Amino acid sequence: MNQYLFQCNKVRDIENNIGEVMVPEFTIEHVNNMDSNYNRYIPDIITMECKLEDNKYDKFSIKELETQLELTELFIEHMSYILELHSMVTEYANIHEKHNKISMYFNKIIPLIQNANNNLEEVIDVTTV
């Protein structure tokens, strides 16, 4: 409902309706929870080891190597999202105007959270195949 009102107010009369829209909560705990949820799915998968046995290195198949590289790339993207969200928490907390806070939440924070969730879904897809 809040997003509906926000979308209406973007096009219509936001000054008269701003009291109807509640400012969403966005804290460092939200970001940390996203990060810990992500780490639950990708704890130690990214570490690749080649052990020396009988003077021979273990061989990784091309598919295993491709999977490791893909997971590494997804992990780097995740870290980028988390760093950006951490900086947005500070910026969001320092905004005092209700309209600007709501605008930032729906226009910047929500899309970034959706990207981070899509990244997690990709990790789950790669690790379950």
* Phi, psi angles (nearest 5°) of residue 67: -65, -45
The string of pLDDT tens digits covering residues 91-121 is 999 999 988 998 899 999 999 999 999 999 9
pTM summary value: 0.69
The string of pLDDT tens digits covering residues 36-53 is 888 777 655 545 455 545
User: CA–CA separation, 113 vs 99, rounded Å?
Assistant: 20
What angle do helix axes 110-128 and 62-93 make, rounded to 10 degrees?
160
- Which tokens hold the place of 123? 């990790």
Residue 123 burial (CB count, 10 A): 20
Is residue 27 within 8 Å of 91, Cβ to Cβ? no
User: CA–CA separation, 53 vs 46, rounded Å?
Assistant: 22
Domain boundaries, the chain: 27-128
